[in-house]
Chain A
C-alpha cells in the first residue's frame, strides 16, 4: 500500500472529477427553479419572481465538491481502513466491555434521577426551566411514546402509522373529563390509558385480516379520522381552538401546584414561588411512566403473550399452526401499545395545559415511528438514545441563536428544524439501517443468553 493509492490514484482522481462534475450538473438542473428563482408577493399582492444565482451557485458547488471529495478521497480511505482491519484479523466485537458499557443502564438511570437537581444547581431556577421542560420532559415523552409503539411495531411486527391517534385519545380524555367533571389527574391517568386501550381494540378489530402495507394505510387512515373528528366535533372538542386551562396534576392530592391554592406546594415547604417545582415534579412523573413502560415491556417479553407477539412477527402461519390465537395476540399488542400512548397523552395534556388537534398530526406518528426504527426496533436502549438524539437535537437547534452572527440577523434556525430532522432520518438510515443498537437479546435461547444481530429478526411484517 503506497501513498499513491491512498490520496488518489490518477484513475480514481479522474473518476472523482467526472463524478463531481456530474453531480454539479444534476444539482444545477434540480435547484435551478426552486433555489435559483424566488417567488414572492409584491406590494399589489401579485406573485412575482426574482433570481438568486448566488445561492444556486453555493448549492451546486457544495454538491459537486462534496461528490468529488467522497469519490476521490473519503471512500478510498474508508475502503483502505476496512481492508486493513480485515487483514489484521482482529474481530470488531470484543468480549470484554468497558466499565461504562457494562454499567450503562445504571449510570443513565442515576443521571436521570439527579438531572433536575443538577440543572437547578448549575443554572438556577429560571435557567433550569428550559433544561427540565424543553429537554428533559420533551425527550422523555417521546421515549415513552416510542417505547409504546415499539410493542406494536418492534415486538408484534404490526406496522402502525397512526399511533398518534392513541396519544390524542389519551390527551383529550384527560382534557375533557377534567374540564367537564373536574376529576383529578391521578384518577384520569389510568382512565386515559384504559380508554386509549379500548380504542386500540376498536381500531384493531377491523384490521386483523390485513397485512403489511394495507395495515399501515388503515392505521394511518384511523389516525387521520380521529384528528378530523377532533377538529370538526366543535360542540365537545372546541375544534381547532383546542381546550385550554386544563387542570395541573397535584402532588398525589396532598399539595397543589396552583399558586392561589390554600394547600400550595410552595407554601407548605416554605419555598419562593416558581414554576420550576411543578416542572421537576412532572419530570419525575414522566420518568416513572417511562420506567413503567420499560418494565412492562421487559416483563411481557418473558411471558407467553410477549413470546406470542415475537413469534407472530417472525412467522404468522407457523403461529397459527401451533395453536396461537392470532386475533387475541394482535389485539393485545394493539391495546397495550395504545394504553401507553394514552398515558403519554394524559401526561402531555396536563403538562401543556392546552390541547388542540394541531399536536396530533401525521408528522408526529412519523416522528415516533422514525425514533423506533432509528433506535433499532425492539431495543429499548437504542430507542431511548434515538429519542434523545432526534428530539434533543431539534430542541438544541432552537437555542442556536449564535448562528445569527454567522448567517445574518434574518436567519431563524427554527425554520430549518424539520428540514434537518428529515435529513438526519435519511442519513442515519443509510449508514445504520438496523438502527443505533443493532443487536438483540432473544428471549428464547439455548444454554446461554447471547446478543444476536438485529438482521436475524424480521420486523414490520403484518
Chain B
C-alpha cells in the first residue's frame, strides 16, 4: 500500500508537468485547429532558459535564496518562451492560416527540427547537469515525499487556477473562447482575432516554460532533445483528454503520469511508453474524441 501511494505521488508529479505542456497543445488546437508540433521544443527552450538563468544567478550571487532563484528561473523562462512562441506564430504559422490543413503542420514540424537543432548548435549536444536545488524530503509513515514534488504540484495548481480564471472570467478569456467557437463571427463582433491568437500562443508557451523549468529542477539535467519525448507524451495527454478541452488536457496529463509511474513500478520500466501509447489507442477506439472531448458532429 505504501509503495502504491509512493508511486501515486511520483505519477502525480510527472502528470503535473505533462498537464502544463498539454494545455499549450490543446489551446492552440482549439483556437486555430493545428497541431503545434514545436510546442515540445518550446518546453525544452523553457528548460534551457531556466538553466542559463540558474548558472548566471548562482555565479553572481552565491548564496541566493532558493525561492528567489526559482522565481527568477520561472519568470525569465516564461518571458523568453513567450517571446519565442509569439515570433514563431508570426513568422511560420500566421502566413499559412487559411491555407490547407497540412501546411501549418509541416511548418510546425520544421520549426520543431529547427529549435532542437538550434539549441544543439548553440549550446552543444551534451547533457547539461546542474547541482540539485531543492534537497529536502519528508517522511510520512513509509512514504517519502520530496520538497520538489510538493513544489511542482503546488506551482501547477496555482498556475491552473490563474489560467482557469483568465479563460473563464476575464475579457481576454472571453475573446479566446469566442475565437475558438467561430473565428469569423468573433472578428465581426470586434474581437481582435490576430491578437487573441498571439496571446494564446504566449500563454501556452509560458505554461510550457514553467513545466520546462520544473522538469529541470526535478531531473537536474537538460538536453537539446528533451523536447521530443515529453512533447509527444503531453500531446498524447491532450488527445487522451479530448483535444481542445482544457480540463481534458490536465486530466490527460495526470492519467499519463500515473500510467507511466504505475506501469514502471508494477510491470516493466522498459515498456512504460509502450503502455502509454497502447492505452491511448485503446481509449480512442471506444471514445474517438478523447475522454472529455466534444463528440464530433457530422455535417454534410
Contacts and interface: CB of A to CB of B under 8 A. Distances in A.
A228 interface: yes
Contact of A37 (B52, B109, B271, B277): B52
Given A217-B236, A218-B281, A33 B49 contact: yes
A452 to B, nearest CB: 14
A213 B243 contact: yes
A35 interface: yes
Interface stretch (A270-278, A441-449, A453-461): A453-461
Contact of B122 (A34, A221, A228): A34
A302 interface: no
B102 A159 contact: yes
B130 A47 contact: yes
Given A37-B56, A41-B126, A418-B117, A374 B281 contact: no
Interface string B126-144: 1011110000000000000
A314 to B, nearest CB: 13
B273 A224 contact: yes
A34 B123 contact: yes
Nearest to B240: A217
Interface stretch (B92-100, B164-172, B183-191, B200-208): B92-100
Nearest to B130: A47
A49 to B, nearest CB: 5
Contacts of B271: 228, 232
A423 interface: yes
A224 B274 CA distance: 8
A47 B52 CA distance: 10
A211 B296 contact: yes
Interface string B209-245: 0000000000000000000100010011001000100
B-side interface mostly: helix
Contacts of B84: 30
Interface string B109-131: 11111100111111110101111
Nearest to A418: B117
A304 interface: no
A34 B118 contact: yes
Interface in B51-70: 51-53, 55-56, 59
Complex A-B, nearest 7 residue pairs according to Cβ-Cβ distance, in ascending order: A425-B110, A422-B113, A221-B277, A422-B114, A419-B117, A460-B102, A426-B110
Given A225-B277, A418-B117, A430-B95, 12 more contacts: A30-B80, A47-B130, A218-B280, A222-B281, A225-B278, A362-B228, A363-B113, A369-B106, A422-B112, A425-B106, A426-B111, A458-B100
29 contacts: A30-B83, A38-B123, A39-B52, A39-B123, A47-B55, A47-B129, A49-B59, A206-B284, A210-B284, A217-B239, A218-B280, A221-B277, A222-B277, A224-B273, A224-B277, A228-B273, A362-B232, A369-B109, A370-B106, A419-B117, A421-B110, A421-B113, A422-B113, A425-B106, A425-B113, A426-B107, A429-B96, A430-B96, A433-B103
